[in-house]
Structure 1
Amino acid sequence: MEFGFEVSLCSYLEATTDWILARQLGAAVAEPGNRIIDICCVIPNQSIDTRTQITARSIPTAAIDSAVGPGDAVYWRDAFDCHPERARSVTDHAIEIGFFEVERNGGRRYIRQVARYPQWYDRLIGIENKPDLSRPGNLEQQLRLDVSLGIFDEVVLATESYVTRAHLNRIPDEVGVWRFDPQNGDRTVIREPQQLPTTETGVELLENHSLKTDIALITAEQKQRKRTQLAERSYGKGWRTYDFPACVHGAAEDGALPYCTHYGCLVDASTDCGVGCPEFASADPPAVDTAAIRDDRSPWVHQPDGIVRTQSGLDRFF
């Protein structure tokens, strides 16, 4: 139920906004796996055009934070404050995806950014999906972590349930609430979210004990780095990270959603399909070009031309 709700909401948001969307991303800092946000929404600004020209893939924050700029090329080892093997790995990956370009001098690699990394987004919105509020699980704890940490500008609870005053009283006042009907794509704003303090020190709740709660203080600098990481992972990853049913009943609904024609519903092929299903009949999954669909429906560009420029003085390396 939650999978179908989640991908339906992503499809709706992609069709009605210009946001960059991704699903199931680590949204904590001290212990990244401590909080997995269901949907990360990145609200781009005008600099998105520059970002789309660089690469379709995620740019690692280690490359962004390095001493490599768009001006004079620098020796790759001098550009990183980390272990040389880590520096080499980041350098190789940044060259591979087109964020760094390389020049050689005396057998050494000198690198620079193909373009100055743009601050291409304005805001991040985190969405926690809970279609059925009668089964909240640890919803309150998750939302309190989001609010106290302040990685996202806004946090929203999305549900299919009728929302009562009792429901609202159990979650932080800062959290917005949407009621979303995945069948007809209707979204009702029950409560607007409040702006969270993203530029201040945050508190990451780690573990609750009977008499105390373990926490970690997260600086504004750490939060900004995490925000950039979330934005980049969202840009490169997207939200269509699922497989399609390899079954005669498998199909793709509008927006490339995995669908079962026998049961008439969206399905998570990794858990709902296979020999455990009595109606399963092996077949090739539907052919769906998810990258082309994402390119058509969002600001993301599948095959950018890239940025090629000439830097005066580079001939001294040859």
Structure 2
Amino acid sequence: MPEFAFELELCAHLESRGTDIVARQLGASVADPGSRILDVVCVEPGSQFDERVAITSEEIPDPAIASAVGTGQSRYWKDAFDCHPGRAREAVERALEIGFFERDHGASAEAGRDYVRQVARYPNWYDRLVGIENKPDLGRPGDLSSQLRTDASLALVDEAILATESYVTRAHLNRIPQEVGVWRIHRDERDADAELEIEVIREPASLPVDEPGIEPLEDHPGRTEIAVVDAAEKARARRRIAERAYGKGWRTFEFPRCDACLADGSSGATLPRCGWKGRVVDAAVECDPTCPGYEPAVRAVDEVDLETERDRRTPWRANPDGKRRRQSGLDQFG
């Protein structure tokens, strides 16, 4: 199975198994942002999850969470941030837009500058984070070894797992850090509608998320540059991952405007399954008029409402009481 299809089907299956927030393609590095992208992240809700749900359906910007803006007396925004003013202003505007901040119109009018406060105290809403690296074909590993070494040594997630369709040999296991769990994903090939099954080849170890971590940077002949990431930096990075997962989810794909592609909801989650290719497709890179199976769409693909589906199938809420509706299309990457 192509990695994109593998990823979507695994996300749909993981979502159906419990109450975790499932997301895909999230940054998971600290010293070198963007150098490590986790294919799938599962965020386990914590004791104050309902309080987070009530605030907003959107990702809350980390500078707004880390700021000295509280729920009590309003504060002049510039005095509440310890970062570049441009970044602070952007965070303030976004926090106001999504309903995490509110403007104190009285104080702002009197002083001639913006005073803001939080609408609610930021809750301790998530517990464990699980990162999953998808590699359907272990015969084409790419940078798999270095990616998993980074996950194990940096320890941003509580557990790191490799998911594959390949038969896993002892040689494969020896090349994978022992802390990393291994799943083999099965499906009855005789039944196209059969659910995925997860065979646990090796259980993941609990990673030391509360301790400093080592992030590999650049490899050179005979040596590797590293950065030591302290526990506080890791905690903030974990919060960013959890927030990104909550706001983004995993339904960040498009449906092609082609009648050969069906909005297939047989697994409970609607996926772009191409009848001509016989599998889930990545519309952004695979589907255009040059495809031999292309048929100009007559059906209304715009009727596919992935936001409503996520609201129905998960503990995330698209439109919490008193908060404004999330703006689709703003969070497709990151």
Residue 68 of structure 1 contacts residue 113 of structure 1 at CA under 8 Å; is this kept in 2?
yes
Question: Which residue does the alignment assign to 2:97?
Answer: 96
Question: Which residue does the alignment assign to 1:177?
Answer: 182
Question: Which residue does the alignment assign to 1:312?
Answer: none
User: 1:108, CA displacement in angstroms?
Assistant: 2.6
User: 1:209, CA displacement in angstroms?
Assistant: 0.6
Structure 2 residue 158 is the aligned partner of structure 1 residue 153: yes
Q: State the distance in 2 between where 1:244 and 1:218 align.
A: 40
Question: Which residue does the alignment assign to 1:72?
Answer: 73
Q: State the distance in 2 between where 1:151 and 1:63 align.
A: 21
**What is the one-letter code of the residue matched to 2:245?**
S
Question: Which residue does the alignment assign to 2:270?
Answer: 256
User: 1:140, CA displacement in angstroms?
Assistant: 0.8
User: 1:281, CA displacement in angstroms?
Assistant: 2.0
**What is the one-letter code of the residue matched to 2:320?**
P
Q: State the distance in 2 between where 1:156 and 1:285 align.
A: 38
Q: State the distance in 1 between where 2:28 and 2:322 align.
A: 30
SS at match of 1:204: strand
Question: Which residue does the alignment assign to 1:87?
Answer: 88
Q: Deviations over 1:262-305 (max 9, x none)?
A: 22211011111112311112226622100010011111000001
SS at match of 1:163: coil
Question: Which residue does the alignment assign to 1:316?
Answer: none
Question: Which residue does the alignment assign to 1:239?
Answer: 250
SS at match of 2:43: strand
Q: Deviations over 1:41-74 (max 9, x none)?
A: 1111231100011000000110000001111111
User: 1:100, CA displacement in angstroms?
Assistant: 0.5
Residue 201 of structure 1 contacts residue 220 of structure 1 at CA under 8 Å; is this kept in 2?
yes
Structure 2 residue 314 is the aligned partner of structure 1 residue 298: yes
**What is the one-letter code of the residue matched to 2:232?**
E
Structure 2 residue 7 is the aligned partner of structure 1 residue 2: no
Q: State the distance in 1 between where 2:322 and 2:208 align.
A: 35
Q: Deviations over 1:228-279 (max 9, x none)?
A: 0000000000101010111011211121111112222110111111123111
Instruction: Report the TM-score when normalising by structure 2.
Output: 0.89
User: 1:36, CA displacement in angstroms?
Assistant: 0.8
User: 1:306, CA displacement in angstroms?
Assistant: 3.4
Question: Which residue does the alignment assign to 1:128?
Answer: 133
Residue 146 of structure 1 contacts residue 155 of structure 1 at CA under 8 Å; is this kept in 2?
yes
Residue 244 of structure 1 contacts residue 285 of structure 1 at CA under 8 Å; is this kept in 2?
no
Gaps of 5+ in 2: 188-193, 324-334
Bigger CA drift: 49-58 or 262-271? Answer: 262-271
Q: State the distance in 1 between where 2:133 and 2:119 align.
A: 36
Paired residues for 1:6-155 under 5 Å: 6-104=7-105, 105=107, 106=110, 107-155=112-160
Bigger CA drift: 230-239 or 45-54? Answer: 45-54
SS at match of 2:97: helix
* CA root-mean-square deviation: 1.4
Q: State the distance in 2 between where 1:82 and 1:207 align.
A: 27
Q: Deviations over 1:180-219 (max 9, x none)?
A: 1255311111111001111111111011110211111111
Residue 255 of structure 2 contacts residue 283 of structure 2 at CA under 8 Å; is this kept in 1?
yes
Residue 47 of structure 2 contacts residue 124 of structure 2 at CA under 8 Å; is this kept in 1?
no
How many residues are matched?
Answer: 308
User: 1:82, CA displacement in angstroms?
Assistant: 2.0
Bigger CA drift: 100-109 or 238-247? Answer: 100-109
Residue 274 of structure 1 contacts residue 280 of structure 1 at CA under 8 Å; is this kept in 2?
yes
Q: State the distance in 2 between where 1:40 and 1:191 align.
A: 18
Instruction: Report the TM-score when normalising by structure 1.
Output: 0.94
Sequence identity of aligned pairs in percent? 55
Residue 219 of structure 2 contacts residue 225 of structure 2 at CA under 8 Å; is this kept in 1?
yes
Question: Which residue does the alignment assign to 2:282?
Answer: 268
Residue 55 of structure 1 contacts residue 306 of structure 1 at CA under 8 Å; is this kept in 2?
no
**What is the one-letter code of the residue matched to 1:151?**
L
Question: Which residue does the alignment assign to 1:288?
Answer: 304
SS at match of 1:296: helix
Pairing partner for 2:224 from 189, 213, 226: 213
Question: Which residue does the alignment assign to 2:206?
Answer: 195
Gaps of 5+ in 1: 308-318
Residue 250 of structure 1 contacts residue 285 of structure 1 at CA under 8 Å; is this kept in 2?
no
